[in-house]
């Protein structure tokens, strides 16, 4: 896990996570040093106005970040992707993975002598952009002085709101990418539009099924799910493991009822959950209308690339009367992996 940093994650993710931690602490120490220098330069009259932000404020910031990223705040998709994340150095603007095309053909013979030339694998590479997602917040310096006796409660609330805004932006990037971001030929894609994402048309010319309509029967809904499963798990794609389904609220609530003649289950949702190959069905507000996202939750098929875990760092104050500003930021992108034959574990269905 690398969406946030703590001792356990630092131990598990090795050098990249430690480098991220060192980057954070260096910026915070630099700001503390600058504040102390300003206080010493201006004298005792202004010492209170340039006094450093206490360390327990940063502990509150870090605890708030962790609680918002590991609790039920935000979206279920980001929560499910968190365990799959990989830490990278902050200098990595793109994150690539290797596609292997073996093309090997075994043979049978009497002599057993090997064919010439011998086989060898061929490699190709794909990647994604690791973009910086950020939000700045702060307070006027005299307002900060007035709040010191109150334990910086307002600043902690500001930081929590800032974390939520960055979290929403990260999730939007993971779903939709950023069409305006291109670096050395590598573009920013999301789960909906990645070259590795397989697409299913639920509208006219496709399955022609409106999953948001109360009149849609269980048999029609089941056909949509089994079609998605057959694409991902069938012979042509051969994904091993159950598939997690994410659906829009409109689809979700129209699965909570049953037809007048259906007595096999309490709701359509219950019936679909019993379908072999379905790991679960979750509602998410980032999908709208007749949209379904199906994912095999495994690093083999999908992986967030994190160049900097979600953190809050200070913006340097250069004058005694400078305002206090902080930056909440995260460097991350999402990789939808596919093999040399184009097979992947992510599918997006929509009208």
14 against 46, higher pLDDT: 14
The tens digit of pLDDT for each residue in 61-88 reads 888 877 777 665 557 998 899 889 988 8
Instruction: Indicate the pTM of the whole model.
Output: 0.80
pLDDT of residue 66: 78
Burial bucket for residue 343 (CB in 10 Å: 0-12, 13-18, 19+): middle
pLDDT of residue 131: 93
The tens digit of pLDDT for each residue in 291-327 reads 999 999 999 999 999 999 999 898 887 777 788 889 9
* 100-109, 296-305, 321-330, 332-341: range with lowest mean pLDDT: 100-109
186 against 107, higher pLDDT: 186
Mean pLDDT of 229-246: 94
234 against 113, higher pLDDT: 234
pLDDT of residue 64: 81
For the chain, domain boundaries: 7-100+121-189+302-336, 198-300+344-350
Q: What are phi and psi of 50, to 5 degrees?
A: -115, 15
- Mean pLDDT, the chain, rounded, equals 82
Structural contact between residues 169 and 310, judged by C-beta atoms closer than 8 angstroms: no
Mean pLDDT of 329-349: 90
Mean pLDDT of 253-277: 86
Query: Domain 198-300+344-350: which topology?
Result: hypothetical protein PF0899 fold (3.30.2320)
pLDDT of residue 52: 46
Structural contact between residues 271 and 320, judged by C-beta atoms closer than 8 angstroms: no
Structural contact between residues 145 and 139, judged by C-beta atoms closer than 8 angstroms: no
pLDDT of residue 124: 46
Mean pLDDT of 157-174: 91
* 208-217, 265-274, 279-288: range with lowest mean pLDDT: 265-274
- The radius of gyration of the chain's CA atoms, rounded to the nearest angstrom, is 25
126 against 186, higher pLDDT: 186
Q: Band of the pLDDT at 343, cuts 50, 70, 90?
A: confident
pLDDT of residue 238: 84
The tens digit of pLDDT for each residue in 27-45 reads 777 766 676 666 665 554 4
Q: Is the pLDDT of residue 56 over 80?
A: no
Highest mean pLDDT among 40-49, 109-118, 253-262: 253-262
Q: Where are the alpha helices (DSSP H) in 265-323?
A: 268-273
Q: DSSP secondary structure string, 211-231?
A: TT-TT--HHHHHHHHHHHHHH
pLDDT of residue 295: 98
pLDDT of residue 28: 76
User: Where does 291-336 show beta strands of DSSP type E?
Assistant: 291-295, 302-315, 324-336
């Amino acid at each position: 896990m690398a969406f946030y940093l703590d001792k356990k994650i630092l131990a598990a993710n090795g050098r990249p996570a430690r480098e991220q931690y060192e980057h954070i602490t260096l910026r915070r120490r630099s700001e503390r040093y600058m504040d102390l220098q300003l206080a010493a330069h201006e004298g005792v009259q202004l010492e209170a106005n340039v006094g450093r932000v206490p360390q327990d404020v940063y502990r509150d910031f870090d605890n708030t970040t962790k609680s918002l990223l590991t609790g039920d705040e935000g979206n279920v998709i980001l929560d499910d992707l968190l365990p799959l994340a990989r830490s990278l150095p902050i200098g990595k603007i793109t994150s690539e993975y290797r596609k292997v095309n073996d093309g090997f053909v075994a043979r049978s013979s009497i002599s057993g002598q090997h064919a010439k030339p011998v086989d060898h694998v061929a490699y190709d590479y794909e990647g994604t952009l690791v973009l910086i997602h950020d939000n700045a917040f702060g307070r006027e310096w005299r307002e900060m002085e007035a709040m010191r006796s109150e334990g910086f409660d307002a600043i902690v609330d500001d930081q929590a709101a800032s974390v939520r805004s960055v979290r929403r932006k990260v999730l939007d990037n993971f779903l939709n990418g950023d069409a305006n971001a291109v670096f050395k030929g590598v573009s920013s894609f999301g789960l909906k539009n990645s070259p590795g994402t397989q697409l299913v048309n639920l509208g006219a010319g496709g399955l022609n099924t409106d999953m948001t309509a109360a009149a849609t029967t269980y048999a029609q809904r089941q056909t949509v799910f089994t079609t998605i499963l057959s694409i991902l798990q069938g012979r042509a794609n051969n994904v091993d493991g159950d598939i997690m389904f994410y659906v829009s609220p409109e689809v979700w609530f129209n699965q909570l009822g049953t037809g007048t003649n259906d007595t096999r289950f309490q709701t359509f949702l219950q019936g679909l959950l019993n379908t072999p190959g379905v790991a679960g069905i979750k509602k998410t507000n980032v999908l709208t209308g007749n949209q379904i996202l199906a994912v095999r939750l495994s690093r083999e098929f999908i992986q967030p690339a994190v160049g900097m875990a979600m953190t809050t760092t200070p913006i340097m104050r250069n004058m005694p009367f400078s305002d206090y500003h902080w930056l909440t930021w995260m460097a991350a992108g999402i990789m939808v992996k596919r093999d040399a034959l184009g097979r992947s574990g992510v599918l997006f269905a929509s009208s």
